[in-house]
């Protein structure tokens, strides 16, 4: 009897395992490619915004970042950023990202990019974002009062301050089409 049960469970479980098996290094490369335009465009927009001074840069970032993020997606990949400490609540992590985000927070010695099967058609990709010296103007521990005021105006629930260079700030993510 137990044999029949075992056989049934093998038959039931196996197809799922098979579909979940992916070539991880292939998908890590696809993921890195997919988030590259978003990284570049955000960086370009940020550098340009900061030239206007940090307060104006917060406003510019507020106006530009969501559009840049949306525009960086493609037919084969949706991309974005999320964090455990959010500034914009609409960047909140989707369900599949939460354990990966948690994983980076609890195992700081394992910060390599990750891929996971989301469903038959989609693979999820994440890679960590670290704070750089230029980021402390708006995410650091000693933000200028006028900058902080503008941040509070635009993001009343802001939780994205108190970081230092080198800190884990969040993740870039991609949802990659398998077809």
Residues that bind ligand HEC (CB under 6 A): 46, 49-50, 54, 57-58, 61-62, 65-66, 81, 83, 86-88, 91, 129, 131-132, 134-135, 137-139, 160, 169-170
* Minimum separation from the CB atom of position 154 to ligand HEC (A): 7
- Report the residue number, 124 or 140, with the smaller CB distance to ligand HEC: 140
Spatial separation of the C-alpha atoms in residues 29 and 128, rounded to whole Å: 15
CB atoms within 10 A of CB 17: 8
- Report the residue number, 27 or 127, with the smaller CB distance to ligand HEC: 127
* Minimum separation from the CB atom of position 126 to ligand HEC (A): 12
Select from 142, 42, 145 the least CA-distant residue to 88: 42
CA angle 23, 113, 115 (to 5 degrees): 40
Beta bridge partners of 28: none
Q: Between β-strands 168-177 and 77-82, what pairing exists: parallel, antiparallel or unpaired?
A: antiparallel
- Report the residue number, 61 or 77, with the smaller CB distance to ligand HEC: 61
**Tokens representing 111?**
């910060």
* Minimum separation from the CB atom of position 59 to ligand HEC (A): 8
* Minimum separation from the CB atom of position 13 to ligand HEC (A): 37
């Amino acid at each position: 009897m137990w044999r029949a049960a075992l056989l049934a469970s093998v038959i039931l479980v196996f197809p799922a395992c098979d579909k979940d098996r992916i070539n991880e290094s292939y998908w890590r490369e696809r993921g890195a490619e997919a988030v590259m335009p978003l990284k570049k465009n955000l960086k370009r927009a940020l550098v340009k915004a900061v030239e206007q001074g940090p307060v104006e840069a917060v406003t510019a970032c507020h106006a530009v970042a969501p559009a840049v993020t949306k525009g960086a997606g493609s037919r084969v990949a949706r991309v974005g950023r999320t964090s455990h400490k959010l500034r914009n609540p609409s960047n909140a992590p989707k369900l599949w990202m939460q354990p990966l985000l948690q994983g980076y927070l609890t195992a700081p010695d394992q910060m390599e990019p990750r891929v996971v099967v989301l469903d038959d058609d989609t693979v999820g990709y994440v890679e960590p974002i670290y704070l750089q010296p230029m980021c402390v103007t708006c995410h650091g521990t000693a933000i200028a009062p006028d900058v902080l005021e503008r941040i509070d105006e635009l993001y009343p629930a802001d939780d994205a301050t108190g970081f230092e260079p080198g800190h884990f700030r969040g993740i870039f993510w991609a949802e990659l089409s398998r077809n």
